[in-house]
């Protein structure tokens, strides 16, 4: 999750607040997290196919 947050520009403390229900994420931030995860998965798939 750390790598996804870093890529999306979300601090780990913000993620922790979501995790424990102290704060709810905005839709635009969730979209950034989804995009970051998709980027990471795409990179992993590309490197697996190249191997």
Q: How far apart are CA 35 and CA 21, in angstroms?
A: 23
CB 1 within 8 A of CB 34: no
Long-range contacts of 28-35 (CB under 8 A, 24+ apart): 32/8, 33/4, 33/5, 33/8, 35/8
| Helix ranges (DSSP H) in 1-51 | 2-8, 12-19, 27-50
Query: Per residue in 11-48, pLDDT tens?
Result: 999 999 999 999 999 999 999 999 999 999 999 888 88
pLDDT of residue 20: 97
- pLDDT band of residue 49 (cuts 50, 70, 90) is confident
pTM: 0.84
pLDDT at 51 over 80: no
């Amino acid at each position: 999750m750390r790598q996804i947050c870093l890529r999306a520009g979300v601090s780990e403390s913000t993620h922790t607040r979501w995790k424990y229900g102290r704060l709810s994420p905005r839709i635009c931030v969730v979209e950034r997290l989804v995009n970051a995860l998709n980027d990471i998965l795409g990179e992993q798939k590309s490197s697996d196919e190249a191997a």
